Chain A
């Protein structure tokens, strides 16, 4: 017979117990299993759970793969492009709407609508838009830009968009100087052209969300602050630069963290829009995991890549969470 007092005293724990158990098994248990798989010899369909010798060999193998190096580069470039564009455009839209322009309600909804779509839909639509044969390249003909260029003796404008294998602004030379004894890079460290359209599509989808975040923040800045700035002689531009935007910093940080975890985990948008791209120009770690797991049946390699993805996300999320909890306590 259980002591009823014990039950009453610990009812909080009892209520939480089922979800704690489920989280322990289905989140942390499986993270542990994946980590274990990443250390094994399981690289065909037949299960082989013997540990690999040396233990971290799959990790070193993977980091030496040109494809995975390209994935790391792409994640970095995509993250910078996407977060920069989304925050810039989102903030711009929020400021515009905050200035009481006509049709404010309409635009607020219109800018937020793309956020309601799933990434797979966005990916398919933008794939058509950036198709070099049938997409926006047709406008270069329709608007007469190509006719002008040809008349001037130049090549007509027909960018390959997601099919362009070129990597610009390569920093391999610089890296070789900084790190001469380091590993040889088998890829160009630069900005893959093909990744830019993907970043544009992701920005299109999420800048409305960023705008909504900033609108919330702008709404909480009182009129007095603006009036005070104006009385001190600040122009409109100066007021935003020196007063409003600094006051929005907490919003900017939260938004950047949310966008960052979207970009680290991104799969569906890229998969639908460009796949791995020419020369892995648009490949991302999540596609790598999928292909290694389900196409190549190299379970240890797929698990290794997912562990690396998890660690990368943790590097971002954990400091953020610690910061939030600490500021809540004080």
Chain B
């Protein structure tokens, strides 16, 4: 009988043994939150490309489920603080990369890799700027999502005699919303069980109302959240909230996308991860659904990126650099983005492989001003990101414009970038 008491320890020892064996082989560990449907499939194309080139390396895919990294980041944080980093992990550009990883010195510079591969010519200078500090890049960007797209159900609008041209103003949108209300159809689709979904609509309305220069000013203190034009943006956002579907608090963002496809609501202001969702639901672009820039934001590209880092003191630096080189490859980026529903970070991808929406997005990226989003961690530190989510949670229910603006101004000040 006594042996059974030691069984757990023996088992542990056995596991330890096998771990040690693989340590002698080459391996590389990457950490992501891409675990669902199209995301996981897209990631798999990158991993397959790596496996094909380096079959002898044991590839560890340490994915943790959870949208936007909400569940993965705490785990990663613990590993980094404990001195046990994965070789490479996923992060958004801008503030998230800098505040979480560059400032505390968790990541290594990729300047040599960028030089050796000639990537300074192949990625746009503005993008390289957003992932660099003091001239040292810290991220290999895989894809670019556009956050400020207004999607609409084409057949539903046609039924009510509405045709959307290349651009739509806020007044036109609200006019359409009024007429749809008479037919008992909510104009705006929303699913904000995750409050960030309504945050996207807020950001889109904000940048659409005050323009990219004033929007960028919010993050360096030249624009205040209590300025008249920002108050107007909050007002506009509130008017859109008046037209959202009643059950928004019970739905997630993808359920709202399904509602759009089903014609239960007409417009959806949401990043282009919705595109993949709509396609997956069997809808056809330009037939079942159409798109236009969120009102007022035609020349602006609210940018959401996903990229990978190189850990400082990475256990397997050579293998990790090989992985990052594969991620920056043109064909790998094309294959990845076709599945992910986004556009390449490289500027030389083959347009003809992409559908009408993604081509539209490429044109908009090329001609527009790229600005960072708070909701995906690029514009402001995580403390402010949380504060915005909390302020939105209150605003959606209480609609107190003044309190909303003042709390944002206060938090911006506390985070060190406000006036």
Task: Give the distance to chain B from A291, nearest Cβ to Cβ, in Å.
Answer: 6
Indicate if the CB atoms of A132 and B100 lie closer than 8 Å.
Answer: no
Mark out the residues of chain B between 373 and 398 whose CB falls within 8 Å of any chain A CB in the assembled complex.
381-383, 385-387, 390, 393-394, 396-398
Complex-state Cα separation, A65 to B394, whole angstroms: 11
On whether A132 and B398 interact (CB within 8 A), knowing A44-B99, A296-B387, the answer reads: no
Stretch of A7-15, A224-232, A273-281 contacting B (4+ beta carbons < 8 Å)? A273-281
Indicate if the CB atoms of A132 and B247 lie closer than 8 Å.
Answer: yes
Mark out the residues of chain B between 389 and 411 whose CB falls within 8 Å of any chain A CB in the assembled complex.
390, 393-394, 396-398, 403, 407
B280 at the interface (CB under 8 A from A): no
Stretch of B70-78, B160-168, B202-210, B318-326 contacting A (4+ beta carbons < 8 Å)? B70-78
Q: Name the prevailing secondary structure of the A interface residues.
A: loop
B249 at the interface (CB under 8 A from A): yes
Task: Give the distance to chain A from B297, nearest Cβ to Cβ, in Å.
Answer: 27
Indicate if the CB atoms of B386 and A292 lie closer than 8 Å.
Answer: yes
B interface size (C-beta, 8 A): 28
A interface size (C-beta, 8 A): 29
On whether A295 and B394 interact (CB within 8 A), knowing A45-B100, A46-B103, the answer reads: no
Contact with B along A241-267 (1 / 0, CB 8 A): 000000000000000000000000000
| Neighbouring B residues of A164 by C-beta, 8 Å | 249
Indicate if the CB atoms of A279 and B398 lie closer than 8 Å.
Answer: yes
A131 at the interface (CB under 8 A from B): yes
Indicate if the CB atoms of A278 and B385 lie closer than 8 Å.
Answer: no
Indicate if the CB atoms of B383 and A43 lie closer than 8 Å.
Answer: yes
| Neighbouring B residues of A44 by C-beta, 8 Å | 99, 103, 381-383
B104 at the interface (CB under 8 A from A): yes
Complex-state Cα separation, A276 to B382, whole angstroms: 18
Chain A: CB-nearest residue to B250: A163
| Neighbouring A residues of B179 by C-beta, 8 Å | none
| Neighbouring B residues of A46 by C-beta, 8 Å | 103-104
**Which one, A66, A131, A186, A296, contacts B382 given CB within 8 A?**
A296
| Neighbouring A residues of B390 by C-beta, 8 Å | 65, 67, 280
| Neighbouring B residues of A298 by C-beta, 8 Å | 383, 386
Complex-state Cα separation, A70 to B195, whole angstroms: 17
Contact with B along A157-178 (1 / 0, CB 8 A): 0001001110000000000000
| Neighbouring B residues of A98 by C-beta, 8 Å | none
| Neighbouring A residues of B249 by C-beta, 8 Å | 160, 163-165, 278
Could you name 10 residue pairs across A and B whose Cβ atoms are closer than 8 Å?
A: A44-B99, A160-B249, A163-B247, A280-B390, A280-B393, A294-B77, A296-B387, A297-B381, A298-B383, A298-B386
Interface residue ranges, B against A (CB under 8 Å) = 70, 73-74, 77, 99-100, 103-104, 193, 195, 247, 249-250, 381-383, 385-387, 390, 393-394, 396-398, 403, 407, 414
Other CB < 8 Å A-B pairs besides A45-B100, A294-B73, 18 of them? Answer: A44-B381, A45-B99, A45-B103, A45-B382, A66-B403, A131-B250, A132-B250, A133-B250, A160-B247, A163-B247, A165-B249, A165-B397, A278-B393, A278-B397, A297-B77, A297-B100, A297-B381, A298-B386
Interface residue ranges, A against B (CB under 8 Å) = 43-47, 65-67, 131-133, 160, 163-165, 186, 275-276, 278-281, 291-292, 294-298
